[in-house]
Amino acid sequence: MTINIGDTIPNIEFQFREGDTRPEQGTCPMGGKFVTKSSNDIFANKRVIIFSLPGAFTPTCSTHQLPGFDQNFETFKKEGIDEIFVVSVNDAFVMNAWSIDCAIKNIKTIPDGNGEFTSAMGMSVAKSNLGFGQRSWRYAAIINNCKIEKIFEEPGKSDNYEEDPYGETSPENVLSYLQK
């Protein structure tokens, strides 16, 4: 079941990774710790955008969607958005590395490594045809104090869908809705 406008988002616990630094030699960040935050910790008493995508370091996500939301952050704030989050069925290490690699300054990552939030949102799909396993369908939502105000979903949602549609969840489309 897909979550609908007016529904309360599922209260899931996420495992974030904070305080890691990259050693001079080697690529694995270390020295930090896992920090648990719930959906309520992240979304309560705020009006936010969350967008989800099939995976970090994938072409459409890294080239268009993530940078587009990041570059338009101030415009979104003028339209009443407090924060913008990207969630993906990836672990905290991957999400942190992706954010650094893409030089993201304004978007906060949410690691949904177990896919629990994605599943509870009704957005879990098989991407086995691409070797991804269970992932998220591409969607975006405006969440106001833990309730869905508006949801944007790409067409064709199904397991092992051959295409990767992108348009409904673009930052431009979400911004257009907010500016109406």
- For residues 42 and 9, the answer to whether their CB atoms sit within 8 Å is no
As beta bridge partners, residue 135 has: 125
- One-letter amino acid for residue 112 of the chain: D
What does the pLDDT read at residue 94?
95
Q: Tell me the CB-side half-sphere exposure of residue 152, using CA atoms within 13 A.
A: 24
**Under 8 Å between Cβ of 69 and 175:** no
For the segment 13-18, the average pLDDT, to the nearest whole number, is 97
Say whether pLDDT at 170 is over 90.
Answer: yes
Residue from 18, 17, 21 nearest 30 by CA:
21
What mean pLDDT do residues 112-121 have? Answer: 97
State the Cα–Cα distance between residues 126 and 15, nearest whole angstrom.
22
Where do the DSSP E strands lie in 74-133? 83-88, 108-111, 124-126
Tokens of 50: 């969350």
Specify the CATH number for 13-173; select among 3.40.30.10, 3.40.1160.10, 1.10.510.10, 3.40.630.30: 3.40.30.10
- Domain spans in the chain, listed from the N-terminal domain onward: 13-173
Q: Which of 28, 61, 102, 146 is catalytic?
A: 61
Confidence of residue 1 (pLDDT cuts 50, 70, 90): low
Alpha-carbon distance 30 to 37, whole Å?
Answer: 20
In the predicted model, what is the mean pLDDT of residues 95-105? 94
pLDDT of res. 52: 97
pTM for this predicted structure: 0.95
Compute the average pLDDT of residues 108-124: 97
Has 61 been annotated as catalytic?
yes
Alpha-carbon gap, residue 69 to 107, rounded angstroms = 7
Bridge partners for 8 per DSSP: 147
Q: What is the pLDDT of residue 28?
A: 80
pLDDT in tens, 24-76: 777 788 889 999 999 999 999 999 999 999 999 998 889 899 999 999 999 99
